[in-house]
Structure 1
């Protein structure tokens, strides 16, 4: 399925708990990583009946003890009674193993149930899942998120959705539990394409911030004073606000790992190739992150890009 003219719809959320007693949907959440664990917790706090599954069962047990929900030992057990099944795992292959595989969610879900994938994947996988869900009598929406671990923990994620408009409206109580806003970008796959644009923009900002900080340091500028000056002007950004000081202090052992960014930028480059485009900045950033990963820095935050920029400046 190629590009389809998008339908735009957006929702922002107010009091997350005002409908606590009205949330009767039975929800299953598959994948309790740094994002999924708190997202599932917000759903339980919002009054949904939540059952979780994680490949490492100890994490599911810990989640159930912390939030009071249920955990299942298999995907099929987790999803069999669910009205809505949410997945948030690692990559395309992980999603397939949790959804379309013989032991995955789709074969075990009840007719008419909804599958929402919060994983950042290829757009092609989202379209594949949409077709598989439809064939099984289910509904599907791709819904990658932005906001990182802090956004998940604080329940303020931005959710980029691809799917049916009526389904998008129906899922608002779900998204409100852990999101600050959600936007319907069009048909299945368009949520993932929106997330690709998000990652390209982050890469661009980090490149500019890295070069700017490098010049500032070499020129002897006071970095905290500089950031205080710039962050509320045209150069201001989330990265400026949250990463400039740690970049200048060479602190990178937190945040969004570059190995995950390599995966995401790979999707961007693949999508661009299918559209007959080249993305030179994205290509260069991808190469820089790959080299950093080869140096053993794959788990460091994406802001470690400044090290590659400084190294390149010596040549």
Structure 2
């Protein structure tokens, strides 16, 4: 499912937005903005994906980020990494070159706090605003419009955009100045890495012991062991299904950002570093595009049905 409509709060009349990056997350996020009443122009480096979005939802696709950003009140970006963000924002065809004064660049990419500060400084020099606003909730949250958004930037600007971004979110919170949203997302990914590894070990342990893990998760999921990952990924982990959701390749990118930030600040992330290595093993097994719950493949190369 690409998109699931919800009850939308009204957006200001004639709100024009651009959405740059129509991947697993961006494709439904942009659709929510359109269904909430925004005028949406999209850009994607693979033009066929932008055209497919227009054919499915409406709106307009253009050939460059600069064209997408022209006349937009808010430009949303959701791309792969730091360099991807620079490539769509900077240069003569970048979004910054097309944005009108006082417009807002709202970056939903998971990238580094450093690039957020770098792009914020560039935006300010052009009379623009920048908010780093990574999201959590996975593909399911993007489809249902129930993402959690962690923001870094000026409080007044975040409040200005919030009624628009509410179209794809259930919670939008300012963490602090620019870069703080990305730091909060790093905390999020660190937590997820540990939870998924623990869940994988529990399932593999139970399977080895010969107990019905569907039943076990149903029971312990009502107690202290409960988690988002258990409720949404536990059964599919048991069944060995991983062809959906947030890819291992992207999780390794995110954990790399966490580990690099930790080196700069002196934080100790022993479990995160270990799980990052485990995800490397999954990549070597050909699972780079599997959902992150595929960590269990290391423990049980042929997951048992239970």
Taking structure 1 as the reference length, the TM-score comes to 0.91
Indicate the residue corresponding to 2:171 in structure 1: 181
Indicate the residue corresponding to 2:8 in structure 1: 17
Deviation at 1:308, TM superposition (A): 2.1
* Aligned residue among 302, 307, 311 for 2:292: 302
Q: Is the 8 A contact 2:43 2:68 kept in 1?
A: yes
Using the alignment, how far apart are the partners of 1:250 and 1:154 within structure 2?
Answer: 25
Q: Is the 8 A contact 2:17 2:74 kept in 1?
A: yes
Using the alignment, how far apart are the partners of 2:13 and 2:51 within structure 1?
Answer: 23
Measured against aligned partners, the alpha-carbon deviations of 1:230-275 in whole angstroms (never above 9, x if no partner) come to: 1111000011111112112211121111000000000100111111
Taking structure 2 as the reference length, the TM-score comes to 0.93
Mapped pair 1:254 → 2:241: no
Mapped pair 1:207 → 2:197: yes
Indicate the residue corresponding to 1:192 in structure 2: 182
Measured against aligned partners, the alpha-carbon deviations of 1:254-313 in whole angstroms (never above 9, x if no partner) come to: 1111000000000100111111122000000111111221221101111111122458xx
Q: Is the 8 A contact 2:145 2:167 kept in 1?
A: yes
Deviation at 1:63, TM superposition (A): 1.5
Tell me, what secondary structure is at the counterpart of 2:286? helix
Indicate the residue corresponding to 1:85 in structure 2: 75
Give the stretch that moved more between structures: 84-93 or 248-257.
248-257
Deviation at 1:149, TM superposition (A): 1.2
Using the alignment, how far apart are the partners of 2:294 and 2:64 within structure 1?
Answer: 38
Q: Is the 8 A contact 1:23 1:46 kept in 2?
A: no
Using the alignment, how far apart are the partners of 2:251 and 2:9 within structure 1?
Answer: 36
* Aligned residue among 201, 213, 216 for 1:223: 213
Map of 1:1-315 to 2, 5 A cutoff?
A: 16-19=7-10, 22-310=12-300
Unaligned runs of 5+ in 2: 1-5, 302-306
CA RMSD after TM alignment = 1.4
Q: Is the 8 A contact 2:9 2:163 kept in 1?
A: no
